[in-house]
Each structure stands twice: as structure tokens, then as C-alpha cells.
Structure 1
Amino acid sequence: MHFIELIKGYTPYNEQEEKDKAVILYCLERFEDVLTRKNEIAHITCSAFVVNRTKDKVLVVHHNIYNSWSWTGGHADGEEDLLAVAMKELNEETGVKNSHPVTSDIFSLDILPVFGHTKRGNYVSPHIHLSIAFLIEADENDALMFKEDENSGVKWIPLDELNDYSNEPHMHKLYDKFISKIKELGIYK
């Protein structure tokens, strides 16, 4: 399925997702380069919210730029298979080999602010990420490694302690939503 149809077909979980979906679709209609970082205002990112088999732990990486534990993900960089991007980023950032989508459907749509920062010696202006997230299950016994140019650690933590590890207050509401969705979907064991 084409990525735009995948987004259009997504049923928002709450009012935040309803409004964010509308803005994402607006950007898709107005910007030709939303799949690439050439669009310095807004571009698509793909993330994996990674849980273990029993859905009581989440896999996180320590993000160098934000100095915080967070989920995995990255830029679409022209790729239209958004799930494949999320899976690739998961593997690159954690070394996990045994993983699979809980479902191939989108798990969450979010607009995330990115503050100005320096990356690889270059300044990146503030912009927004049009975040497409997927719920992924991985084997917590897989050997872990981290991608040194982006992260300084990777580990499994209890799902209900995620906000304790994040020093990004604006992400707490997002993580709370993910945990609520997992519990409401009846997949939390």
C-alpha cells in the first residue's frame, strides 16, 4: 500500500492524532519533498516502539543529541515503505535481529518538534517531524549494540518506567499514549 494511503486509512486514537493526521496530510499535499530532509520545515520520520514478547518491557536507546533515553527511529530519506524504515532503524540502532511488527498498521501518528541543534558539525534549524510509528516486538535475549554516531547506549526497561528514563518532558505524553494503547488493545501481558 502506498504510504499516503496508509496514512489516510489510519484511524486516529484521540483528538491529538486527529489533528496531527490532518496536518500531516496537509503537508503531504503541499510539499513534494516531505519524504526527504530537503524539506527543512517538515519531513517524515519512522519510528519503532519496541516491546518484548510479554509486552512489559520497552527497548530504548540513549540519544546523543537529546541526552535522553528514547525510542528508535529515523528519517524516511525518500523511502516510501515506512514500516521498512522503522525496522531498518531498529536494527541499526540496537543490533536486534529477531523482531517483527505486532501489526503492519500504523501504531501512532504524531507531529514532533525538533529544536535547533548541531549534528555532525552542522547546524540544523528547528523543524517538525511528521512521525509515523509502528509497534514492534523483539526478542529481549538478542545481543544489543548501539550506533555510536547517534546513541551511547541501548537497553530494555520496564514499560511503566519509560518516563523515568526520559528527560524530555514533551515526550512523556507521547509515551503515556503508547502505553495506554498497548493496554487498551489487550496485548499487555
Structure 2
Amino acid sequence: MKWINSIKDYKPFNEQETKDKEIIIKCINIFDDVLTRKNELAHITSSTFVVNKSKDKVLMVHHNIYNTWSWMGGHNDGDDDFLKVAIKELEEETGVTDIKILGDGIFSLDVLNVKSHMKRGKYVAPHLHLSVAYLVEANEDEALIVKEDENSGVMWIPIHEINRYVKNESHMQKLYQKFIEKMNTL
């Protein structure tokens, strides 16, 4: 399957990505429903880390559930075209369509812990997001929209201030700092 090969062929950036890639491949081998939320332990998500042309700002949404600024992405819900899902989520959550994919495919593989929470009145147990991420450049002059059922804000944040906006999710601060470091090597 092409989607599995895209993960297997991915070249990890660091030790964390090497280990996370191993875990993602284990989950793919163990679970036949890893592309869907039917798997309540671990499932694949697709996301975008979006920067402006000069790479000094990052586009983020204010996530309603976690009450913090966040990247854009979502569940694959059975779709094995990771890039298509990531771009669809970016467009739905921000309105941005004038984009360019940077790099030559998957930008990052990460295993992310999701804390228990309520979503649309239902309890969601803690689980893992097997994250497939892409680096995207977007036009910062394009009009932005808010997807009110998920987010309460959309804005370009100076990239050097990202930790100030993601203050209550230290694990995501580490992830974004890795993205910035990796982006600067391209």
C-alpha cells in the first residue's frame, strides 16, 4: 500500500522521529483500523505547519478544546491520502488556499499524546495521534476565516514568539521548535 510505504520511506530528522516512526509502523502492523477513529487507542492524523514566504511567521488557530494556539490538522477518517487530508483541514480551519508545499513530502512523523476531553458533548478517552505532518508556505495577505465549531481565532504569529502563544502545552512547544529547526535546514 502506497500510504504505508510513504511512512516506511520517510527519513527521520532526529532520534525522536526515528522512535516515533517505529511506533507508527508497529501500530499499522497491529491495527487494521489505524486510519480511523474507530481505533480508540491510536489513529493517524494529518497536519500542516504553515509559514509565510519569509518564514518569520506561522499561521495558527486558537483551538477551542485545548484553549491554546495550535497548528491545523485532523483525523484521516479512513482516507489514506495524507496530504489531501492535511490541506483540506488547513482550508477548512483558516480559509487559506494560496499555498505551496515545501520539501519533498512528509515533513515530520510524530506520536502525540491526546488527553481525555469532551467533544460535542461526548467523552473522548486519552489516546495517541500518529501524526503525519507537512510543511506549507501560505500567502499571509490572504483573508482568514474561523471555523467556529473548532476554533475561536486564526492569526499569523511571529515565529520567534510561538512559545508565548502555546504556553499551556509544553509538549507542543517542543514539537514546533523541532519544526522550526528542521525548516531552517531545508
TM > 0.5 between the two?
Answer: yes
Which whole-Å deviations, capped at 9, do the CAs of 1:85-136 have from their partners, x for residues lacking one? 0000000000112112113411111000000000000000000000000001
Q: What is the distance in 2 between the residues matched to 1:137 and 1:112?
A: 23
Quote the residue 2:18 is aligned against. Answer: 18
Name the residue aligned to 1:88: 88
Matched position secondary structure for 2:184: helix
- Normalised to the residue count of structure 1, the TM-score between the two structures is 0.96
TM superposition score normalised by structure 2: 0.97
Matched, 1:160 2:160: yes
Tell me what 1:28 maps to: 28
Counterpart Cα distance in 2 of 1:26 and 1:130 = 11
Q: Does 1:171 align with 2:168?
A: no
Gaps of at least 5 residues in structure 2 are none
> How far off is 1:161 after superposition?
1.1
User: C-alpha distance in 2, partners of 1:164/1:25?
Assistant: 34
Contact persistence 1:83–1:104 (CA under 8 A): no
1:71 to 2:71 alignment: yes
Task: Map 1:1-189; keep pairs closer than 5 Å.
Answer: 2-166=2-166, 167-185=168-186
Amino acid corresponding to residue 142 of structure 1 in structure 2: E
Structure 1 residues 31-66: Cα deviation after superposition (integer angstroms, max 9, x where no partner): 000000000000000000001111111000000000
Between the aligned partners of 2:13 and 2:102, the Cα distance in structure 1 is 17
Distance 1:61 1:102 in 2: 20
Q: Which amino acid aligns with 1:130?
A: L
- Residue 174 of structure 1 aligns to a residue whose secondary structure is helix
Please tell me the residue identity of whatever aligns with 2:182: K
Q: Distance in 2 between matches of 1:87 and 1:104?
A: 15
- The number of aligned residues is 185
Give the conservation status (yes or no) of the 8 Å contact 1:69–1:165. yes
Unaligned runs of 5+ in 1: none
Cα distance in structure 2, aligned partners of 1:102 and 1:180: 14
Q: Distance in 2 between matches of 1:26 and 1:165?
A: 34
Let me know the Cα RMSD of the aligned residues: 0.9
* Separation of aligned partners in 2, 1:10 and 1:147: 32
Moved more, 27-36 or 162-171: 162-171
**Paired residue secondary structure (1:141):** coil
Letter in 2 for 1:132: V
Q: Give the secondary structure class of the aligned counterpart of 2:46.
A: strand
Specify whether residues 26 and 16 from structure 1 end up closer, same or farther in structure 2 by C-alpha distance, changes over 3 A only.
same
CA distance in 2, matches of 1:76, 1:162: 26
Runs of at least 4 residues off by over 3 Å: none
